Amino acid sequence: MNDVRVLPVESEEIVAGVKKNNIPVEYISFPDEGHGFVKKENQVTTSKKTLEFLDKYLYLHKEPFYLTLNDFQPHERSLYYLRGKNADW
């Protein structure tokens, strides 16, 4: 993880504190990303993991919810959007 704003150890301390209080937590990081997620695949993975977490702990959906790369639309301010869909990363 290449985050210069929040060091990995700081994230790990938060996760440890949450676990210590018996609160459900799932921690994922991407070694090829910084503070935000720029790569489309990582954005999709993060969205999917978030929905799975909410579904697991809040029981929002009766049927499974799946995301594919084709379902993903980048935010208008994301680097993916600004560089263009066919940009060479």
pLDDT tens per residue, range 50-82: 988 888 887 655 666 566 666 666 555 555 555
Q: Are residues 48 and 27 in the same domain?
A: no
- Give residue 71's domain range: 37-89
Per-residue pLDDT at 13 exceeds 90: yes
Question: Using the 8-state DSSP alphabet, how is residue 69 labeled?
Answer: G
Q: What is the mean pLDDT of the chain?
A: 77
Reported as a pLDDT band with limits 50, 70 and 90, residue 4 is confident
Band the pLDDT of 89: cuts 50, 70, 90. very low
Q: Are residues 12 and 43 in the same domain?
A: no
Q: Is this structure's pTM higher than 0.85?
A: no
Q: Based on the structure, what is the number of domains in the chain?
A: 2
Class of residue 43 by CB neighbours under 10 A (exposed 0-12, middle 13-18, buried 19+):
buried
Shared domain check, 85 and 53: yes
Torsion sign across C-alpha atoms 1, 8, 48, 83: negative
